[in-house]
Amino acid sequence: MANGMASPTEQSGTMATAEEPGYLRSGQQDGLRGGLVRLRSGDMGSLPALIGLVVLVILFALLRPTFLTPLNFANFFTQAALVMILAMGLVFVLLLGEIDLSAGVTSGVAAAILAVLIQKQGVAWPIAVTAALASGIAIGLFIGMMVARIGVPSFVVTLALFLGLQGLVLVIIGEGGNIRITEPVILAIQNRNLPPLLGWVFYAIVVVGYLTAALLGRRQRLVRGFPATPLLTILAKAAVLALLGFGMVWVLNLERSINPAKNPLSGVPIIVPIIALLTIVFWFLLNRTAFGRHIYAVGGNVEAARRAGISISYVRIVCFCICSGTAAFAGLVYASRAASVDPNAGRFVVLSAVAAAVIGGTSLFGGRGRIQDALIGGAVVAVIDNGMGLLGYSAGTKLMITGGVLMLAASADALSRRRRLTGG
Amino acid sequence: MVTTTAGLGEHPPGGEEPAPFLSATGIVKSFGPVHVLRGVDFAIRPGTVTALVGDNGAGKTTLIKGLAGIQPFDAGRVQFEGREVHIDSPRAAAELGIEVVYQDLALCDNLDIVQNMFLGRELHRGVTLDEAAMEHRAGETLRGLSVRTVSSLRQQVAQLSGGQRQTVAIARAVLWNRKVVILDEPTAALGVAQTEQVLALVRELRSAGLGVVIISHNLQDVFAVADLIYVLYLGTMTACLPAAQTTPGEVVEYITGGRTAAQDA
Percent of chain A with pLDDT over 70: 89
Q: Is A28 a residue whose pLDDT tops 70? A: no
- The per-residue pLDDT for A94 is 97
Q: What is the mean pLDDT of chain B?
A: 85
- Distance of alpha carbon B110 from its chain centroid, rounded? 26
Asked if A137 and A328 count as a contact pair (C-beta separation under 8 A), the reply is yes
Q: Is B109 in contact with A367 (Cβ distance < 8 A)?
A: yes
Asked if A114 and A339 count as a contact pair (C-beta separation under 8 A), the reply is no
Query: Which chain B residue lies closest to A35 (C-alpha atoms)?
Result: B155
In which band, very low, low, confident or very high, does the pLDDT at A36 lie, cut at 50, 70 and 90?
A: low
What's the rounded mean pLDDT across residues A385-405? 88
B74, B12, B70: which is closest to B42 by C-alpha? B12
Measured in angstroms, the CA of B165 and the nearest CA of chain A are apart by 11
Residue A392: left (phi > 0), alpha (psi -120 to 50), or beta? left
- The per-residue pLDDT for B17 is 61
Count Cβ atoms below 10 Å from residue A368 Cβ, excluding itself: 25
What's the rounded mean pLDDT across residues A290-308? 93
Q: Does B144 touch chain A (CB under 8 A)?
A: no
Q: Does A24 touch chain B (CB under 8 A)?
A: yes
Test mutation, A280, A301, A311, A315, chain B, max B CBs within 10 A? A301
Q: Does B106 touch chain A (CB under 8 A)?
A: yes
A50, A47, A83: which is closest to A381 by C-alpha? A83
Residues of chain B with Cβ-Cβ distance to A221 below 8 Å are: 132
Test mutation, B159, B160, B172, chain A, max A CBs within 10 A? B159
- The per-residue pLDDT for A38 is 58
Least confident segment among A106-115, B27-36, B77-86, B138-147: B138-147
- The per-residue pLDDT for A14 is 34
Q: Is B203 helix (H, G, I), strand (E, B) or coil?
A: helix
Asked if B79 and B22 count as a contact pair (C-beta separation under 8 A), the reply is yes
- At B255-264, the pLDDT tens digits run 988 777 655 4
Q: What is the mean pLDDT of chain A?
A: 87
> Measuring CA to CA, how many Å separate B252 from each of B204, B217, B234, B239, B248?
27, 10, 14, 11, 6
Spatial separation of the C-alpha atoms in residues B100 and A258, rounded to whole Å? 70
Option in A26, A226, A299 nearest B132 (CB): A226
A305, A277, A281: which is closest to A97 by C-alpha? A305
- The per-residue pLDDT for A247 is 94
- At B147-201, the pLDDT tens digits run 877 888 888 898 888 888 888 998 888 887 788 999 998 888 788 888 888 899 8
Residues of chain A with Cβ-Cβ distance to B111 below 8 Å are: 293, 296-297, 300
What's the rounded mean pLDDT across residues A35-63? 79
> Measuring CA to CA, how many Å separate B196 from each of B139, B159, B187, B202, B203?
21, 20, 9, 10, 11
- The per-residue pLDDT for A254 is 92
What's the rounded mean pLDDT across residues B108-121? 92
- The per-residue pLDDT for A104 is 95
Q: Is A220 a residue whose pLDDT tops 50? A: yes
Measured in angstroms, the CA of B265 and the nearest CA of chain A are apart by 43
Q: Does B10 touch chain A (CB under 8 A)?
A: no
Q: Give the burial string for B147-156 (b: 16+ CB within 10 Å, else e).
A: bbbbbbbbbb
> Measuring CA to CA, how many Å separate B233 from each of B39, B55, B253?
12, 7, 10
Q: Does A301 touch chain B (CB under 8 A)?
A: yes
Measured in angstroms, the CA of A304 and the nearest CA of chain B are apart by 4
Q: Is B227 a residue whose pLDDT tops 80? A: yes
- At A164-218, the pLDDT tens digits run 999 999 999 987 678 999 999 999 999 999 999 999 999 999 999 999 999 988 8
What's the rounded mean pLDDT across residues A3-15? 37
Q: Does B1 touch chain A (CB under 8 A)?
A: no
- The per-residue pLDDT for A21 is 57
- At A328-350, the pLDDT tens digits run 999 999 999 999 998 887 888 88
Q: Is A13 a residue whose pLDDT tops 60? A: no
What's the rounded mean pLDDT across residues A8-23? 42
Spatial separation of the C-alpha atoms in residues A48 and A90, rounded to whole Å? 20
Option in B104, B111, B132 nearest A300 (CB): B111
Test mutation, A14, A20, A23, chain B, max B CBs within 10 A? A23
What's the rounded mean pLDDT across residues A215-224? 85
Percent of chain A with pLDDT over 90: 66
> Measuring CA to CA, how many Å separate B211 from each of A123, B100, B164?
68, 12, 22
Spatial separation of the C-alpha atoms in residues B115 and A421, rounded to whole Å? 20
Residue B153: left (phi > 0), alpha (psi -120 to 50), or beta? alpha
- The per-residue pLDDT for A8 is 38
